[in-house]
Amino acid sequence: MRMRTHMARSGDRPRSSMLRTCALVIAGAAALIAGGCRREEPVALAPVARPVKILTVGAESSLDVREYPGRVSAVREAAVAFEVGGRIVELPVIEGQRGTLLAKLDARDFEAKLTAAKADRDAAEADYMRFKELLDKDAVSRRDFETRQRNFEVAKSRIDIAEKALEDTVLRAPFSGRVARKLVDEFQNVRALEEVENALTAFRLEQRRRNSLRVAVAATEQTVELVDIQYRSGLTNFQNVLEAQRSLFVRQDQLAASDGQVTRNLIALYKALGGGWDPATPDVTDESPGDGGH
DSSP symbols for the chain: -HHHHHHHHHHHHHHHHHHHHHHHHHHHHHHHHHHHTSPPPPPPPPPPP----------HHHH-----------SS------SS-EEEEE----TT---SEEEEE--HHHHHHHHHHHHHHHHHHHHHHHHHHHHHTT-S-HHHHHHHHHHHHHHHHHHHHHHHHHHTTEEE-SSS---------TT-EE--HHHHHHHHHHHHHHHHHHHHHHHHHHHHHHHHHHHHHHHHTTSS-HHHHHHHHHHHHHHHHHHHHHHHHHHHHHHHHHHHTT-------------PPPPPP-
Give the C-alpha separation, 109 to 91, whole Å.
Answer: 19
- pLDDT score at 58: 61
| 212, part of any domain | yes
Q: Lowest-pLDDT range, 145-149, 160-164, 274-278?
A: 274-278
pTM of the model: 0.45
Range of the domain at 266: 191-277
Of 123, 69, 74, which Cα lies nearest the Cα of 96? 74
Of 118, 127, 174, which Cα lies nearest the Cα of 151? 127
| 16, part of any domain | no
Of 91, 99, 90, 92, which Cα lies nearest the Cα of 178? 99
Q: Is the pLDDT at 26 greater than 50, yes or no? A: yes
Kindly report the number of other CB atoms within 10 A of residue 269's CB atom: 21
- The size of the chain, in residues, is 294
Of 145, 141, 113, which Cα lies nearest the Cα of 127? 145
The arithmetic mean of pLDDT across residues 219-229, rounded, is 92
| 218, part of any domain | yes
Ramachandran assignment for 274, one of left (phi > 0), alpha (psi -120 to 50 degrees), beta (any other): left
Structural domain tally of the chain? Answer: 1
Give CA angle at 157 (153, 164), nearest 5°.
170
| 225, part of any domain | yes
Q: Lowest-pLDDT range, 15-24, 193-202, 231-240, 248-257?
A: 15-24
Contact call for residues 220 and 247 (beta carbons, < 8 A): yes
| 230, part of any domain | yes
Task: State the pLDDT confidence band at 78, using cuts at 50, 70 and 90.
Answer: confident
| 266, part of any domain | yes
Task: State the pLDDT confidence band at 245, using cuts at 50, 70 and 90.
Answer: very high
| 246, part of any domain | yes
| 43, part of any domain | no
- pLDDT score at 267: 86
Q: Which one of 88-92, 93-97, 193-197 scores highest in mean pLDDT? A: 88-92
Q: Lowest-pLDDT range, 47-56, 147-156, 231-240, 247-256?
A: 47-56
